[in-house]
Structure 1
Amino acid sequence: MARTVARVVVDALSELGVRQVFGVVGDALNPLTDALRTTDGMEWVGCRHEEAAAFAASAQSQLTDTLGVCMGTVGPGSVHLLNGLYDAAKSRTPVLAIAGQVPLAELGSDYFQEVDNDALFADVAVFRATLTSPGQLPQMLETAVRTALSRKGVAVLTVPGDLGDQEVPEDRPARFRLSEPVSRPDEEAVAEAARRLDSSERVTLLVGRGARAAREDVLALADRLAAPMVLTLKAKEGFEGEGNPFQVGQTGLIGNPAAASALQDADTLLMLGTDFPYRDWYPQGCTVIQVDTEAAHIGRRVPVDLGLVGDTGATVRDLLRHLAGTADGGARDRSHLDGARRRFEQWRAGQARLADPAHDHGLVGRLRSALDNRDHGIRPEALAAAVDRAAADDAVFTSDTGMATVWLSRFVEMRGARRLIGSYNLGSMANAMPQALGAQCLDRNRQVVAFCGDGGLSMLLGDLMTLRSGKLPVKLVVFDNRRLGMVKLEQEQAGLPEFGTVLDNPDFAAVATAMGITGIRVTDPTELEASVRRAFDTPGPVLLDVLTNPDEVAVPAKPTVEQGWGFAVAKMKEAVRSLGDTDDR
């Protein structure tokens, strides 16, 4: 018996191993969602906003290294997918978006809700096509999926509403199998890199997510070179924890002084699987060697003396074979590594003091509070550290862009089998909750924790109902500082008074309770630890709304005089404006 377009698509995705499809139902999707309804082992996850659906699919793809799938119906439904799909594209993870379309005969007539999907998704998709005949299946679907998987990007397949129920003439199974190529750089280039590393006295590694699969090889290389290892945010997962005696944390605005000095003090920087974008944080005047699978990534952030294009693991193993060691055959000087590690541990100890709930009761804490926490709000550092202590060693963390990510990066350690997902390339708001939704659908017994900014959470607040409806036990930790905190900090560092960042928030815990989700609100620092424990011990989804200090400052790894002066000027302007706003003149 011949199968319909919808049945061919859904059966093929099922055989590929797709278990959830995220989206919002609509007329053009009806044949597809009905096919999902009648397919064992596949689940339609109805979201309240298509953007959330795309974020959820992207999170699943990143966690599994396989295809995530979302759907949006005609016109506005497809448009709403865009931001989440851009996040997938920037994260270089394969996602298939199936977009509805007006009936085939109406294409190009400016029909009700008609949008040119092939044009709409031109910038975000590595593949995009509109199905115009059932006979194009399953080949067009195979091409879409293979392209997404091989190029690690977004494929968009548009299906007009009147094609889903039509029969496919050639009824054969779809075939998606691909073998992953492993590329290696030229042997002479590896040998040259090894010679340069052998002759260097102070090597620092900058390690990114692209090196994650080669963890043990990268650790062996760091040991051989006695090199401190600076991690990008996306490399926290896989390279943090007690098993790595070389890492010194992150650099950049969310980083620390030890990582900054490890970079600045190096005579050779070896970049492994990273396209770290912030030019100001690269060292000056040193030799730079970069390893990346993408030739286009070599040298686009910092001038590179030697570029090695190839798989990180294979390249590192080749380097280890070529390294000769010290010229006299003795042990390599480890003072560069030891100094960086010592500075890192000193910084961590200072951060731990900030995260101590009793910090503000000491002399230093009282003095600091008089300047930046006069209302005695809960320190976000203390909240992040409490969550780190309470969360499981295999928890999946997501984080909203902004200050929530800063606190996670500094106080949550990706030890054990913990995973980390965020909008770390696109930098979107509102990603943490829907990404947690997608992660929890993969395994309802695994702990999933979302670090939510109050601005991000409120932007897609409706999909709290998706958590409730799906009985997804996500723990939402809301850093409720009543601000767009990162924007506030950026304004003040530039010498501008805070403007437009204040949020008139509801009681998020009460909102969650009204939606049928356990809501816990914390306003007293002395209740923080117990409240965090209660949130993690409570079955089902929980929203922990913690009122944190809105004036908390995350000092960059190497603050500049200009930033400090700008901050002081901004604070004076804010004080004058505040005085001018009162009736006491």
Structure 2
Amino acid sequence: MSRTVARVIVDALGELGVRQVFGVVGDALNPLTDAIRTTEGLEWVGCRHEEAAAFAASAQSQLTGTLGVCMGTVGPGSVHLLNGLYDAAKSRTPVLAIAGQVPLPELGSDYFQEVDNDALFTDVAVFRATITSPEQLPLLLETAVRNALGRKGVAVLTVPGDIGGQELAADRPARFSLTAPTTRPAEDAVREAAGLLDRAEKITLLVGKGAREARADVLALADRLAAPMVVTLKAKEGFEGDNPFQVGQTGLIGNPAAAGALDDADTLLMLGTDFPYRDWYPQGRTVIQVDTEPAHIGRRVPVEVGLVGDVGPTVRDLLTQLAAGPAGSADARDRGHLEKAVKHFASWREGQARLTAPDHDKSLVGKIRSALDNREHGIRPEALAAAVDRIAAEDAVFTSDTGMATVWLSRFVEMRGSRRLIGSYNLGSMANAMPHALGAQALDRDRQVVAFCGDGGLSMLLGDLMTLKTHQLPVRLVVFDNRRLGMVKLEQEQAGLPEFGTVLDNPDFAAVATALGLTGIRVTDPAELETSLRTAFATPGPVLIDVLTNPDEVAVPAKPTVEQGWGFAVAKMKEIVRSHGDDSA
């Protein structure tokens, strides 16, 4: 018996091990969603917004390393997928998007809801095609999937409304055999890099996501080189727990120890990272970069030697090429650079930890500081993040909204044990934490999933709280409710501008959650924070914890400049003058 186009696609998804498809139902998708309805082991997760569906698929793909799948119907439904698909594309993770289209005879006629999908997805997709005949399957589907998996990106397959229900004349099973290659650089390039490392006196490693599968090799190299390890945000997972060499992150979310480790080095070794912020790289240093993508070599900072290859085999090759005698042994190499950076990092963390104490603002130092930055005695976001870190499971999956929620997670949540971390860390979208958590929790309902939500991000896609409720996905939504677009506020003030346009007129998010059928808990008193969080984490089903945090908390950059300091002071004076003027009006 011949299968329909929809049945061929859905059967293939099952064979690929896809367990959920996220989307919003609609006319052109009806044959596909009906095929999902009758397929055992494949679940349709109906979202309230296609953007959330694409974010959820992206999260699943990032967690599993395999294909995530989402769907959007004709016109607006497909357009709504775009932001979540850009998240997948920038995260370099494979996602297949099935997009609806008007019936074939109407294409090009400016039909109701008609959008040129092949043009729409040109920038975001590594592959895109419209099925115009059943005979194109399964080959076209195989091509789309291989592109998504092989090129680690988004593939978009458009299905016109009159195509999904048509039968194939010649039917065969889809085949997706694809083996990921392992690459290693040329031996002479490794030898040259090893020579530079042997001659270097102070080496710092900048380690990214691309090195996560080579943890043991990278730690061995750090020990051999007596090198502190600056870890990018996406490499927290894999390199943070039980690592005596790591000194945290650099950049705006980073710390002075990491910045100092980079500045003090004469040689920088980059492993599996394309860290984009050029201002945070040290200048005039010898740089060696290891990356699987030739186009990434040297595009952020000038590179002396570029090693194109996977981090694991490349590092193992380096270890064999480094001098084996006294000059290259771990015992002989001066470890002062490493020890200085690690000591600086420990000192910074100790100072940060003081802010997390519930009674911090009652101490003498706390009273002085709170008079400047916490006059309303709001809960400090540092305390919230640190409390979640203590309470959350050792295998929890964390997601975070772009902005201050990510800053606090970066500084106070340790990716120890088998914890995982997902965020829009390349695209930098708002509103990703909750839908990312949706996808992660659908993948494993027994694993703890914790979303660090900004109030601005959560409210942008608030409707998909109902998706959590409908599917009883027990996500813990931790809302940093500072009634602000906090990162924008900080950017304005550092530039000497008074805060403008960032104030949010928020509802009681806990009450909203309760009205939607979730458990909602609101926390306003620092003394009740720990108890409330423990209650929230012990409550079955989806829970939203609305924590009123201090809107004026300042996250000092790793290397604050004089200009930033003056800008902040000037901005605060303008805000005070404006506030007084408002009061007297």
Structure 1 length-normalised TM:
0.99
SS of 1:420's equivalent? strand
Q: Deviations over 1:528-585 (max 9, x none)?
A: 010010110101100000000000000000100000000000001111111111127x
Cα deviation, residue 331, structure 1: 1.7
User: Contact conserved, 2:198 with 2:328, CA < 8 A, in 1?
Assistant: no
Structure 2 residue aligned with 1:26? 26
Distance 2:106 2:571 in 1: 56
Structure 2 residue aligned with 1:306? 305
Q: Deviations over 1:485-525 (max 9, x none)?
A: 00000000000000000000000000000001000000111
SS of 2:575's equivalent? helix
Q: Is structure 2 residue 290 aligned with structure 1 residue 291? A: yes
Structure 2 residue aligned with 1:138? 138
SS of 2:529's equivalent? helix
Distance 2:219 2:168 in 1: 52
Cα deviation, residue 34, structure 1: 0.1
Sort the Cα spacing of 1:337 and 1:38 in 2 relative to 1 into closer, same or farther, 3 A.
same
Structure 2 residue aligned with 1:168? 168
Structure 1 residue aligned with 2:252? 253
User: Contact conserved, 2:327 with 2:333, CA < 8 A, in 1?
Assistant: no
SS of 2:248's equivalent? strand
Structure 2 residue aligned with 1:148? 148
Cα deviation, residue 327, structure 1: 2.8
Structure 2 residue aligned with 1:553? 554
Structure 2 residue aligned with 1:264? 263
Structure 1 residue aligned with 2:101? 101
Structure 1 residue aligned with 2:564? 563
Q: Deviations over 1:418-443 (max 9, x none)?
A: 00000000000000000000000110
Structure 1 residue aligned with 2:67? 67
Distance 2:309 2:189 in 1: 11
SS of 1:499's equivalent? coil
Distance 1:315 1:358 in 2: 49
Structure 1 residue aligned with 2:483? 482
Structure 1 residue aligned with 2:351? 350
Structure 2 residue aligned with 1:418? 419
SS of 1:449's equivalent? strand
Structure 1 residue aligned with 2:366? 365
Instruction: Give the letter for the 2:379 counterpart.
Output: I
Distance 2:302 2:224 in 1: 25
Distance 1:182 1:417 in 2: 25
Instruction: Give the letter for the 1:397 counterpart.
Output: F
Distance 1:344 1:551 in 2: 25
Distance 1:57 1:538 in 2: 26
SS of 2:450's equivalent? strand
Distance 1:168 1:297 in 2: 43
Distance 2:138 2:332 in 1: 60
Cα deviation, residue 170, structure 1: 1.9
Q: Deviations over 1:167-199 (max 9, x none)?
A: 012211101110111111010000110010011
Structure 2 residue aligned with 1:515? 516
SS of 1:271's equivalent? strand
Distance 1:321 1:148 in 2: 35
SS of 1:241's equivalent? coil
Sort the Cα spacing of 1:357 and 1:119 in 2 relative to 1 into closer, same or farther, 3 A.
same
Cα deviation, residue 328, structure 1: 7.8
Structure 1 residue aligned with 2:274? 275
Distance 1:258 1:576 in 2: 36
Instruction: Give the letter for the 1:112 counterpart.
Output: F
Return 5+ residue gaps in structure 1 as ranges: none
Distance 2:176 2:319 in 1: 36
Distance 2:142 2:118 in 1: 18
1:167-566 pair list within 5 angstroms: 167-242=167-242, 244-325=243-324, 326-327=326-327, 331-566=332-567
Instruction: Give the letter for the 1:179 counterpart.
Output: T
Structure 1 residue aligned with 2:58? 58
Distance 1:378 1:257 in 2: 25
Cα deviation, residue 356, structure 1: 1.1
Distance 2:104 2:377 in 1: 62
SS of 1:250's equivalent? coil
Distance 1:449 1:388 in 2: 10
SS of 2:583's equivalent? coil
User: Contact conserved, 2:52 with 2:461, CA < 8 A, in 1?
Assistant: yes
Distance 1:457 1:170 in 2: 48
Q: Deviations over 1:236-271 (max 9, x none)?
A: 0000112x1100000000000100000000010000
Mean Cα deviation higher: 62-71 or 277-286: 277-286
Cα deviation, residue 225, structure 1: 0.4
Distance 1:357 1:157 in 2: 52
Instruction: Give the letter for the 2:378 counterpart.
Output: G
User: Contact conserved, 2:203 with 2:227, CA < 8 A, in 1?
Assistant: yes
Q: How many residues align?
A: 583
User: Contact conserved, 2:255 with 2:557, CA < 8 A, in 1?
Assistant: yes
Distance 1:519 1:402 in 2: 23
Distance 1:3 1:346 in 2: 65
User: Contact conserved, 2:493 with 2:499, CA < 8 A, in 1?
Assistant: yes
Structure 2 length-normalised TM:
0.99
Instruction: Give the letter for the 2:579 counterpart.
Output: S
Instruction: Give the letter for the 2:279 counterpart.
Output: D
Aligned structure 1 segments of 4 or more residues deviating by more than 2 angstroms: 325-330
SS of 1:41's equivalent? coil
Distance 1:197 1:465 in 2: 55
Q: Deviations over 1:418-469 (max 9, x none)?
A: 0000000000000000000000011000000000000000000000000000
Instruction: Give the letter for the 2:290 counterpart.
Output: V
Q: Deviations over 1:193-247 (max 9, x none)?
A: 00100111100000000000000000000010010000000000000112x1100
Distance 2:380 2:246 in 1: 26
1:72-83 pair list within 5 angstroms: 72-83=72-83
Instruction: Give the letter for the 1:456 counterpart.
Output: G
Distance 2:534 2:548 in 1: 17
Instruction: Give the letter for the 1:136 counterpart.
Output: Q
Distance 2:310 2:238 in 1: 17
Instruction: Give the letter for the 1:579 counterpart.
Output: H
SS of 2:370's equivalent? helix
Distance 1:47 1:290 in 2: 42
